Amino acid sequence: MNITILGTGFAALTAIKQTRKLAPTAKITVISPSKELVYLPSLIWIPSKLRKADDLKIDLTNYFNRQTVEHIEASVTDITDEGRVVHTDKGTFNNDGLIIASGGRFIKKLPGIEHVITPCEGIKAAEDIKDRLDNLSGGTIAIGFGGNPKEPSAMRGGPMFEFLFGIDTLLRQQGRRSQFELVFFNPAPKPGKRLGDKVPDAVLKMMAKRDIQTHLGHKMKGFEANKVMTEGGEIDADLILFMPGMTGPAWSQNSDIAKSEGGLIKANELCQVEGMKKTYVAGDSGSYPGPEWQAKQAHMADLQAVAASRNLVAELHGKTEFETFKHELVCIIDTLSHGVLIKRTEKGTIMLPQCRLMHFAKRFFERWYIKQYK
């Protein structure tokens, strides 16, 4: 049994662990550009120097050895033959079963988007934010996020709230907050609704309490070097942080693999890729049926990876009973000193008041999560 897993992010690593547990003798091959996990949720702490780059980069050599998997350093270019052949820039690789967990990519179509920093692109982006903040003596910082109009779930808004509140806290700790104006912008009139109906008002109340200005409900037009342009006006800014909506991985764009209207790999509730056999997708690469509030986050990627692994192994063993994954959104919006816990399920949303304990809970979870892959 030869199983191939694409990626080294949250979904991929969970898929490796789950697949090895269910198929102890299977040959597992991992294909990705590097043998490294970057713990993206903690990028929010790089501008404050609470974390540095090396803290968030995990060499996966030991983990792969423990799981007895072979790693191939390559970039995927296509998938053909109903999932049985993976094409890469280093050659082609056959498999008996495939899990796609190679992540999505940000939509960079807005004019002038090269003038903004997109924090979740990686460590360099977070370090650029740190350097820019260190070199600014004052001015306006504009922070916002957008979405994929054809794929409502393909957005990452939570981290932008964290960068917003974290920068506010950092500037206050440095005694420089009075020299800056913070502006939050978003095309939605009530951003954060995906987290729960009561969340937008609570988040906007936090912004007002911190004297953070808002520019909401206006469609984005683009950017200039020091300007955010919307249909409702412009924002002059000395630093712009913007998280665009997401779409599928670059290799899938010109592939025949089934894609949703928003460009993500189309899957059913079992994480099976439409039109392919013994081929599954987990994490940001995929488009899944479910509630309108489902989001792209590490917790959901883990849940999808578990279901994908179980269903793939079951299919390879000729079984016909498969399982779905649970829709559950869990996050802690960190402010650098406190945290707000939000959990949303089919039953509703729980949002706890911000408290210092949640900040340390997020740091504890980071250490626990990273440790298992060292």
pLDDT band at 149 (very low <50, low <70, confident <90, very high): confident
Query: Does 68 score more than 90 pLDDT?
Result: yes
- DSSP at 206: H
For residue 156, name the pLDDT band (cuts at 50, 70, 90). confident
pLDDT of residue 198: 87
Q: For residues 272 and 280, is the Cβ–Cβ distance under 8 A?
A: yes
Domains and CATH numbers, the chain: 2-104+248-316 (3.50.50.60), 107-242 (3.50.50.60)
Query: What pLDDT score does 367 carry?
Result: 95
Tens of pLDDT, residue by residue over 201-231, are 999 999 999 999 999 999 999 999 999 999 9
Q: State the Cα–Cα distance between residues 229 and 234, nearest whole angstrom.
A: 5
- pLDDT confidence tier of residue 17, bands split at 50, 70 and 90: very high
Average pLDDT, the chain: 95
Amino acid 214: pLDDT: 97
pLDDT digits (tens, 9 = 90+) for 80-114: 999 999 999 999 999 999 999 999 999 999 999 99
| Encoded tokens for 284 | 């940001």
DSSP-based helix, strand, coil % in the chain, nearest 5: 35, 30, 35
CA 218 – CA 231 distance, rounded (Å): 6
In the block, residue with structure tokens 């049985």: 84
Q: Are strands 329-334 and 265-266 parallel, antiparallel or unpaired?
A: unpaired
Residue in 302, 299, 272, 275 with CA at minimum distance from that of residue 287: 272
H/E element holding 356?
A: helix 356-371
DSSP 117: B
Nearest-angstrom CA–CA distance, 198 and 71: 45
CA angle 211, 190, 349 (to 5 degrees): 105
Residue 94 forms beta bridges with which residues? 85
pLDDT for 158-189, tens place per residue? 899 999 999 999 999 999 999 999 999 999 99
φ, ψ for residue 65, nearest 5 deg: -65, -40
Q: What is the pTM of this model?
A: 0.93
The yes-or-no verdict on residue 193 having pLDDT over 90 is no
Q: Which long-range contacts (CB under 8 A, 24 or more apart) does 40-44 make?
A: 40/120, 40/122, 40/298, 41/159, 41/298, 41/362, 41/366, 42/366, 43/119, 43/120, 43/122, 43/123, 43/125, 43/126, 43/159, 44/119, 44/126, 44/159, 44/162, 44/163, 44/166, 44/334, 44/336
- CA atoms of 249 and 162, how far apart (whole Å): 25
pLDDT value of residue 312: 97
CA distance 245 to 39: 20
**Of residues 312, 309, 350, 308, the one with CA closest to residue 328:** 350
Is the pLDDT assigned to residue 76 strictly greater than 90? yes
**Residue 368 neighbours by CB distance under 10 Å:** 9
pLDDT > 90? residue 9: yes
Residue 172 sits at φ, ψ, to 5 deg, of -70, -40
CB neighbour class for 367 (10 Å; exposed up to 12, middle 13-18, buried from 19) = exposed
Q: If pLDDT is split at 50, 70 and 90, which confidence band does 137 have?
A: very high
